[in-house]
Structure 1
Amino acid sequence: MASLARARRRRTPDLEEGESYYVSMTDMMVGVIFIFIIMLSYFALQYRQSTKALTQARHPETAALLQTATALTPHEATVEVDDKARVLCVPEDLIGGTGSDRRCFSYAPPAKTAATTVAADDAQRMLMGFLDADLRDAGAPLAGDTSGGALSFSADALFERGTANLSAGGRKIAGEVAASLARRLPCLAYGGASSTACPEGEARLALVNVLSQTNLDAFTAEGQQAAALALARSAAFHQALTGAQPVLAALRNGPPDQAASQPLLRVASVGQSQEGASRLGEGQTVSIQFQMAR
């Protein structure tokens, strides 16, 4: 028994030493993992910042080269450029050569079309966001989502039943819509009062269409009356908008002195032939559609 007790006492320091070694290894591994996480986070942040800088740059190739060119120095030289052929020539000695010849490089024109498209999409998205906020704050009964580029209303909320006469509620809605349009459209059109708040180079609208839509039976007299009513309602809503805010009637989609310039706010109607179409004037919608110039 005494020898067994002595053996147990001898193993106790060994066990304590093993546990201490295990704890030290665990601490070291936690430290290594922590350092690895910090390094990974740093490189991920750097990668995200570099990617953002390159993708949002006006000229991504130039932005990429400038990230690697850290010792640019100015030089005075005569540069020859052929704008039509897109060729640029510099003296050879300017770029480390020893001769008197020229070194020529081709270059691509700026991608203006892509930049314009992006600007137009962004401008339309911002416009619809502002209009949606204006009208919802005013309590206007918008129907559907405005992100598709249109403000839609049920014709029943605007007009007296079966007619193109605006109801009292319809006139109120038209006034609220006109006030919002008068605030938002002049910067995106021509012919309105210039504003110092309008950003330079802003995209422009090509068309703001007051559109009435209806289902109809095109082969019946009632269906043809529904088509005529839809057009009359578009015209009536257009007149209500321009009557409430005359500036809307002055806006155009191009400089007024250009022959192709047209009024920005125009009228249209769409009648979809359908069997068993609803009765005259029922289920019609009136929308204001916004189309950006490309």
Structure 2
Amino acid sequence: MIASDDEHFTEHVEEENYFVSMTDMMVGLVFIFIILMMYYALQFRKESDSRKASNQERTQILTQLRDELKKSDPKLKVIIVQESGILRLPASSLFDSGEDALTPSGRTTAEYLAKALYKVIPCYTNYEPRSPSCSPTSASIKVEALFIEGHTDTTPFAGRPGINNNLELSVKRASNTYARLTSVEPQLENLKSGPTNQSVLSISGYGDKRPANPETDAASKAMNRRIDLRILMAAPPGEEVKKIQDDTGLHQ
């Protein structure tokens, strides 16, 4: 049976309609894809700006802490590790070799540190009332946590009652530093941050597992024996990013 011209025309029209529909669908999918890419790019930009603002403010915190310590003791060795958010004190400025108890000079250093922390850190927590010296952005950019970290070198610890190895020694040193800080400035223990109002100050010990320098010479080992104050920042809410950019000039 031979198809009529009308049937051929109908098939041709149906094929054209099919291809038109497929083209429309592909154009629609590409449009949706572009919209999604723009959305994720915008979210990434906001996140990136927020992260930059937090890192910028963290550097300011570290600098303020170092300057306060230097005012109290110009000879004190204080190191800032900016990319990791760390304020570093050599263990020799706080402890005798193999000991976890703060030396008399170490207790004084910890006292200076406690006063510096109490002057700077409350601005970046839920602490009220806010000090007039707090920066404008500190109301939005919060310190999520501040860890007092104990570190040792790789020299095996001989051990004594209550402390069996380098890991336990590092934890004990961090704990004793924390105790001294909070005895000098008791309010440090009560600083809270974030929507859940979690405590800011905490401790951790790593023994020789996180060396500042992987070498094993005497100078490198001295660098690895240390107390680090590691600051973790909470990213500000998205709606605060533009205000922070305006306050800090970050958008320029």
Normalised TM-score (structure 2):
0.61
Q: Does the C-alpha gap of structure 1 residues 150 and 142 become closer, same or farther in structure 2, counting only changes over 3 Å?
A: farther
Indicate which of 189, 193, 202 corresponds to 1:249. Answer: 189
- String of CA shifts for 1:21-41, please: whole Å, max 9, x gaps: xxxxxxxxxxxxxxxxxxxxx
Q: Distance in 2 between matches of 1:183 and 1:219?
A: 36
Deviation at 1:122, TM superposition (A): 1.4
Matches within 5 A, 1:2-41: none
Alpha-carbon RMSD: 3.3
Deviation at 1:191, TM superposition (A): 3.7
- 1:290 and 2:231 equivalent? yes
Deviation at 1:168, TM superposition (A): 1.0
Looking at secondary structure, tell me which structure has more helix per residue: 2
Match of 1:188 in 2: 124
Indicate which of 40, 61, 68 corresponds to 1:134. Answer: 68
Q: Does the C-alpha gap of structure 1 residues 166 and 272 become closer, same or farther in structure 2, counting only changes over 3 Å?
A: closer
Match of 1:122 in 2: 56
Q: Distance in 2 between matches of 1:157 and 1:219?
A: 19
Q: Distance in 2 between matches of 1:218 and 1:252?
A: 37
Is this contact kept in 2: 1:192–1:250, CA < 8 A? Answer: no
Q: Distance in 2 between matches of 1:114 and 1:174?
A: 35
Q: Distance in 1 between matches of 2:158 and 2:67?
A: 41
Is this contact kept in 2: 1:116–1:203, CA < 8 A? Answer: no
Match of 1:171 in 2: 107
Q: Does the C-alpha gap of structure 1 residues 158 and 192 become closer, same or farther in structure 2, counting only changes over 3 Å?
A: farther
Indicate which of 152, 160, 163 corresponds to 1:214. Answer: 152
- 1:162 and 2:98 equivalent? yes
Q: Which has the higher contact order (CA 8 A, sep 6+)?
A: 2
Deviation at 1:129, TM superposition (A): 1.5
- String of CA shifts for 1:207-257, please: whole Å, max 9, x gaps: 1110011134789868942221110000000111111111211112324xx
Matches within 5 A, 1:147-158: 147-148=82-83, 149-158=85-94
Q: Distance in 2 between matches of 1:134 and 1:288?
A: 15
Is this contact kept in 1: 2:98–2:157, CA < 8 A? Answer: no
**Looking at CA atoms only, which structure, 1 or 2, has the larger radius of gyration?**
1
Aligned residue identity for 2:145: L
Q: Distance in 1 between matches of 2:122 and 2:164?
A: 37
Indicate which of 41, 46, 49 corresponds to 1:112. Answer: 46
Q: Distance in 2 between matches of 1:220 and 1:240?
A: 25
Deviation at 1:179, TM superposition (A): 0.8
Aligned residue identity for 1:238: Y
Task: Give aligned-pair identity as a percent.
Answer: 20
Q: Does the C-alpha gap of structure 1 residues 132 and 146 become closer, same or farther in structure 2, counting only changes over 3 Å?
A: farther
Match of 1:89 in 2: none
Is this contact kept in 1: 2:125–2:194, CA < 8 A? Answer: yes
Any gaps of 5 or more consecutive residues in structure 1? 1-106
Is this contact kept in 2: 1:129–1:147, CA < 8 A? Answer: no
| Bigger Cα displacement from structure 2, 230-239 vs 183-192 | 183-192
Q: Distance in 2 between matches of 1:224 and 1:277?
A: 24
Aligned residue identity for 2:229: I
Aligned residue identity for 1:113: E
Q: Distance in 1 between matches of 2:92 and 2:157?
A: 24
SS at match of 1:163: coil
Match of 1:67 in 2: none
Matches within 5 A, 1:84-99: none
